[in-house]
A = this chain, B = another copy of it.
Amino acid sequence: MNDESLEHKRLVEAVLFASKEPLGEKKLSNYFQEGVDVKSLLKELQEEYAGKGVNLIRLGNAWAFRTAPDIAEHLSEHRENVKTLSRAAIETLAICAYHQPVTRAEIEEIRGVSLSKGTLDVLFEAGWIKPRGRRRTPGRPMTWGTTVSFLDQFGLEKIDDLPGIEELKSAGLLDARPAINAYSVRGEMELPFVHPEQDQDEDDLPEPLLEE
């Protein structure tokens, strides 16, 4: 095989790879000068890929790369379920991360709406939040905090790596309006990161989870 037809084959390969849909021979021949035998390029490629994990297949008059059928079958056993989180869940997760340990009531207070039943469950099932002991206040409400899986999911090494209020502000994610300044100056909303004292207090009291 000469250099030229090697280059032609590379081009067909790249075009088919990048294409959003199977391509017909006619369309493919637009990439070449007249006289180039696209059909035989495709056939050669098809042979080359025959034993691979990816095959070049013909669908009617069009061509596309597809996962080899035996592997596709094997892979689909592991079919993954990509879930999207609801807005409420994302917000709740963010609040758990920033305000941990935080009670359900506190989350509701911050969001200004009551939490629907499933929200914390979803986050708990995803393995991102876990009970962090009970608050020593009347009713001894349960508190929530984030887990190691949470850090994994978001590529953080430790909870302390989350951007703080000032940083969210300077990254443009938080309005720098005066009112919020007043808050953060007081330190109220700022970096509610795990403080050793609180940790000890609450981890002392491992008690069963949700009982609601």
Contact = CB atoms under 8 A, between A and B. Distances in A.
A67 B14 contact: yes
Contacts of A119: 172
Given A31-B78, A142-B163, 20 more contacts: A9-B53, A10-B53, A11-B74, A14-B68, A14-B75, A15-B74, A17-B53, A17-B54, A17-B65, A17-B67, A19-B78, A117-B172, A120-B172, A130-B155, A133-B161, A134-B161, A142-B161, A197-B209, A197-B210, A201-B212
A177 interface: no
A192 to B, nearest CB: 11
Nearest to A162: B131
Interface residues of A, number: 63
26 contacts: A9-B53, A10-B51, A10-B53, A11-B74, A12-B53, A13-B52, A14-B68, A14-B71, A14-B72, A14-B74, A14-B75, A15-B74, A17-B53, A17-B67, A18-B78, A115-B170, A117-B172, A118-B172, A120-B171, A130-B155, A132-B161, A133-B157, A133-B161, A134-B160, A134-B161, A197-B208
A68 B200 CA distance: 54
Contact of A156 (B15, B131, B172): B131
Interface of A: 6, 9-15, 17-19, 31, 51-54, 65, 67-68, 71-72, 74-75, 78, 104, 115, 117-121, 124, 130-134, 140, 142, 147, 155-158, 160-164, 167, 170-173, 195-197, 200-201, 208-210, 212
What's the number of copies of this chain in the assembled complex? 2
Nearest to A8: B53
Contacts of A209: 197
Contact of A131 (B67, B131, B163, B208): B163
Nearest to A118: B172
A13 B128 CA distance: 29
A28 B74 CA distance: 12
